Structure 1
Amino acid sequence: MKKISAKLLRIYLKEEDKYGKELLINSIIKTLKTNGIAGATVFKGFCGYGTRGISRIDILRLSMNLPAVIECIDYEEKLNDIMPKLVEMVSENGLITIQDIDVFKELKK
């Protein structure tokens, strides 16, 4: 089995954050796809906290702005190419991390 070095990109934000008039999550997913990133997944949390306070499910509220994480895996060069755009989109609304990982499947170049 061939091991490939790649990067895991994670973006932490809240589900109702906006980029212009669109939800930030949707804008980021479109940007990742448009730029040929291999794939992405959005995870929705039920509770979390950060510099913008605590987010949690509250059955007394009709709307919830819960935490969300977008993850994608690709080669370092491809992620570096789109990083300035992602940083601009996320701005003060979240946190972006990248870590080294090993992948056991060839990624699209």
Structure 2
Amino acid sequence: MTRISGEGELVRIFLGEGDRYHGKPLYEAIVLLAREMGLAGATVLRGVEGFGADSVVHTARILRLSEDLPMVIEVVEMPERIEPFVARVEAMLDEVNCGGLITLERARIIRYQPEKR
């Protein structure tokens, strides 16, 4: 992998921890897709509380512990590489008939370089 910098895009995919894709967590399937497509990287963040289009609050508070916490997957990459990835993710979301939100914004990449080994 080479160093990249300049104008990129940040895609964020919001979904639930309980969403599944072919028997595995959907967030895991999306990260594997990003890797398969040779993207620079992907990060999954677990939210402690949130709600989506259904207005149901999911929380990690002990008295109302949810098994479907909010999950956010972030990917920063060059625009020409993000577009086909987003199309594949949308197809995955449609296939499993789950909700979700995908956002896209410009990102100025200051540094992306693998570790020196």
Please confirm whether the aligned pair reaches a TM-score higher than 0.5, indicating the same fold: yes
State the distance in 2 between where 1:40 and 1:16 align.
Answer: 19
Give 2:49's aligned residue: 47
TM, length-normalised to structure 1: 0.86
Give 2:18's aligned residue: 16
Give 2:100's aligned residue: 94
What RMSD, in angstroms, separates the aligned Cα atoms of the two structures? 2.2
State the distance in 2 between where 1:17 and 1:58 align.
Answer: 20
Share of identical aligned residues, percent? Answer: 32
State the distance in 2 between where 1:17 and 1:48 align.
Answer: 15
Deviation of residue 21 (structure 1)? Answer: 1.4
Give 1:73's aligned residue: 76
Aligned residues: 107
Deviations 1:5-62 (A, max 9, x none): 0000100001110112111011000000000110111110110011132111243567
Deviations 1:72-94 (A, max 9, x none): 10001001122221001123321
State the distance in 1 between where 2:85 and 2:113 align.
Answer: 17
Amino acid at match of 2:99: N
Give 1:104's aligned residue: 110
State the distance in 1 between where 2:68 and 2:45 align.
Answer: 13
State the distance in 2 between where 1:86 and 1:18 align.
Answer: 13
State the distance in 2 between where 1:94 and 1:107 align.
Answer: 31
State the distance in 1 between where 2:73 and 2:88 align.
Answer: 15
- Tell me, which stretches of 5 or more residues in structure 2 are unaligned? none
